[in-house]
Amino acid sequence: MPQEPLRVTAALVVSPDDRIFFQKRSATRKLFPNSWDVVGGHLEPGETVSEALAREITEETGWELSEVLATVGDYRYTGEDGLERWETDFLVRVRGDLSRPQLEAGKHTDFRWLGPDELDVLDENREVTDGMIRQLAEDGFAVLRTLSL
């Protein structure tokens, strides 16, 4: 019997000037090592997507979820571990000091706020993510533009 995909949620955190937050995964991570990523992770048993979204934001940045602006999309992929994942991503705003995220020790090493014309940095280690983070960023900015109209 095929295994159900692991459920994942992610936040594309939007700043007041409509830039999106990205953090760099440490080189020791099993999935997507040394690659840029958005905030997010796997749902814990019994947890809803909304609950996991808020938890992951706080765990990975120290910020608190204040508003879900829109759904960016659903993505299915298979990680290097061979497990299929089903990820739902959201554009969000948060409360906290945006200049000083509390990166999760041992898991993330750097962060950047990027605008839509600054996404080339996401191509670092593109072979590890197969361009997925760049595509997610482009999708996020496309949704953000529709909200700004």
Q: pLDDT, tens digit, for every residue of 83-139?
A: 899 999 999 999 999 999 999 989 999 999 999 999 999 988 777 677 889 999 999
- Distance, in Å, from the CA atom of 39 to the CA atom of 75, rounded to the nearest integer, reads 15
Number of neighbours of residue 62 by Cβ within 10 angstroms: 15
- Comparing CA positions, the residue from 85, 87, 79 lying closest to residue 128 is 79
Confidence of residue 1 (pLDDT cuts 50, 70, 90): low
What CATH number has the domain spanning 6-148? 3.90.79.10
For residue 33, what are the contacts with CB-CB under 8 A and spacing of at least 6?
A: 25, 26, 27, 125, 128
